[in-house]
Structure 1
Amino acid sequence: MTGFDHPERRPGLLGAVTVVLTAAAGAIDVVTYFAFNQVFASTMTGNLVLLGLGVGQGEWDQVVDNVCAMLGYCGGLVIGTLVCGVAMRRLPWRNAVGVALTVEFALLVAVGLYWWGVDDGSVTAQAKVVVLVVGAGLAMGIQAAAMRYIGPAGTPTSFLSGTVTNWVSSLVEFHQPFRWNWNSPLRIGVMVVAAAGNAVLQHQVPDLAFAAPIVLVAVAIVMMARVTRANHGGLVAGEPQFAPVPVDAGEDDLAGAGRVLGRVVDASGEPRSAAVTLVDMAGRQVRREDTAVDGGFEMEPPDDGQFVLICTPRGGGVPPRAVMVSVDGAPVRHEVVLGEPVPATA
């Protein structure tokens, strides 16, 4: 997972929501693939390739099919973003994500009822397939828009090329401390398993194949409700204040940035939730923020100079740690290691 506005309670359950929604995306892509000339409701990369293939080979039916799927998905992005934006005028972002997922669920149920209610031999059979694909695309677009509020880079639940890239690359980044990430391989694996399972269901009982993604989205809504309940205290309406996006550029590319960034970890190297405060040499607090769930922090001092970086762990038991930092226009990176727990006094 990426960053959040405050240290999260039940972050594992929030990650599980993304895994379940990934399964829903894999299941629904199988239905549209078989029903509508090998198009996908959520995987726009595949649709773009097939669109180019159709144009190149002059297969205009294929072009129309892919355009329908992509228009549905883009329409869903618009709807999902608007739903979240309106909801966050009164609700915290976790609630807004739940509202968007509920809209997605209602849309899937409506499309499913239409799908099951129209006879394949009727004159509206072709319209039935169009409704299925466009409706499924709308649902997946709403889901993708909602998932943008899980982290600053979004948490993909359908287009997993970036997930594969980031996870595999992180396994061999020897210049950084190794941190195993369960969420990425789980989403990758569950996409395959869900697609395979629904392909079998599509072959054996075609009428039930569309029920699988509906059930999975319903499960995700229940899980998101539990996350919201666990984090209800002290939340305000609006978007999350995300932790900074990890910087991928080199030191030379960041010249003049003057940022202080890094991670807070415990003695074993595990991320630690902490309040990070930057104090100038006159004793004035100039910046303060909470670490992300991975212990990361990033802040930009008002000017260059000497500062004291104070990391105060949440939950007590470990003393704060202060380090001197010198900012001279280039990024300053620090991995702050908190000490051993303080022995309890009698």
Structure 2
Amino acid sequence: MTMQSSAPQRLGKADWTIHLLSATSGGADIVAFLKFHMVFTSAMTGNLALFGIAVGEGHMLSSTHSLAALLGFIAGIILGTLWKEHLHALRILLCIEAAFLGIYAVTWLNAGFPYNGAWLYVLIMASALSMGLQSVAARLINVAGVPSVVFTNTLTSIVITFTENFRRKSAFPFAWRQQLAALFAYLVGAILFSIFLFNIPILAMILPFYLVVIALFIHWPSTNNPSGG
């Protein structure tokens, strides 16, 4: 049974899990874009566009940064897919994601902000792999079709639903509010990580790990229900 058919008319554990993951992906994109040579590790559409720009301008070194993010994201999806049929798939995926975000944090704490070299690629790929895993986890949570890692389709759905319901003067469905809340969480994550990055950088390093751990503990009491409802 999906969240759309079983969700109560209030935000539940599944929503809060998605909000934490959405904030994490918003932060991942901000940090990657500002510190890792203008790449995205969550929003692969934007990352592909940046890869195309780099190749088109002949900046082959810059293109390898976007390529590393793309490959890391794909690897995360593959890893997540291998586990998604497990009874406790969401627990496992969030544990693996937290592990890679831990690698990301430890690498960053030890290497600082590497402008090139192997450490830069470790950071890019660890972040992107985590986001790939998260994209599979979000499908298991299944809150109003929110993917947690990219919000173009979600924004489209929000605007379409708003326009149609406003024109008909009908009530907005609960799924619309769920989507709006998740989009807001992504935006808040992006804003907070931007502030932390320039004022308290250690928080930008370690907070993704803790956000996913909190999401894991919110979900942990669930057994057979991946949505945690």
User: Shorter-chain TM-score: what band?
Assistant: 0.7 to 0.9
Distance 1:206 1:80, change over 3 A: same
- What is the distance in 1 between the residues matched to 2:52 and 2:99? 33
Give the drift of 1:106: 1.1
Give the drift of 1:157: 0.5
Q: Residue in 1 aligned with 2:27? A: 27
Contact 1:35-1:129 at 8 Å conserved across structures: no
Q: Which is strand-richer, 1 or 2?
A: 1
Whether 1:135 aligns to 2:126 is yes
Whether 1:146 aligns to 2:145 is no
Give the drift of 1:120: 5.9
Give the drift of 1:16: 1.5
Give the drift of 1:150: 2.5
Number of matched pairs: 223
- What is the distance in 2 between the residues matched to 1:22 and 1:69? 18
Counterparts of 1:159-308 in structure 2, within 5 Å, are 159-174=150-165, 178=171, 179-180=173-174, 181-226=176-221, 228=222, 232=223, 235=224
Distance 1:172 1:197, change over 3 A: same
Higher relative contact order (CA closer than 8 Å, sequence separation 6+):
2
Give the drift of 1:119: 5.8
- What is the distance in 2 between the residues matched to 1:115 and 1:66? 19
- What is the distance in 2 between the residues matched to 1:184 and 1:6? 15
- What is the distance in 2 between the residues matched to 1:202 and 1:57? 29
Give the drift of 1:156: 0.8
Give the drift of 1:8: 5.5
- What is the distance in 1 between the residues matched to 2:57 and 2:189? 32
Whether 1:72 aligns to 2:72 is yes
- What is the distance in 2 between the residues matched to 1:6 and 1:56? 46
Give the drift of 1:62: 2.2
Structure 1 residue runs without a partner (length 5+): 241-292, 294-346
Q: Residue in 1 aligned with 2:92? A: 99
Give the drift of 1:3: 2.1
Q: State the secondary structure of the residue aligned to 1:17.
A: helix
- What is the distance in 2 between the residues matched to 1:215 and 1:207? 12
- Aligned partner (choices 90, 109, 129) of residue 102 of structure 2: 109
Contact 1:43-1:158 at 8 Å conserved across structures: yes
Give the TM-score taking structure 2 as reference length: 0.86
- What is the distance in 2 between the residues matched to 1:154 and 1:138? 21
- What is the distance in 1 between the residues matched to 2:189 and 2:143? 27
Give the drift of 1:105: 0.4
Give the drift of 1:101: 0.6
Give the drift of 1:19: 1.0
- What is the distance in 2 between the residues matched to 1:184 and 1:132? 30
Whether 1:53 aligns to 2:79 is no
Q: State the secondary structure of the residue aligned to 2:108.
A: helix
Give the drift of 1:114: 2.1
- What is the distance in 2 between the residues matched to 1:183 and 1:62? 37
Q: Residue in 2 aligned with 1:272? A: none
Q: Which is helix-richer, 1 or 2?
A: 2
CA deviation map 1:240-276 (0-9, x unaligned): 9xxxxxxxxxxxxxxxxxxxxxxxxxxxxxxxxxxxx
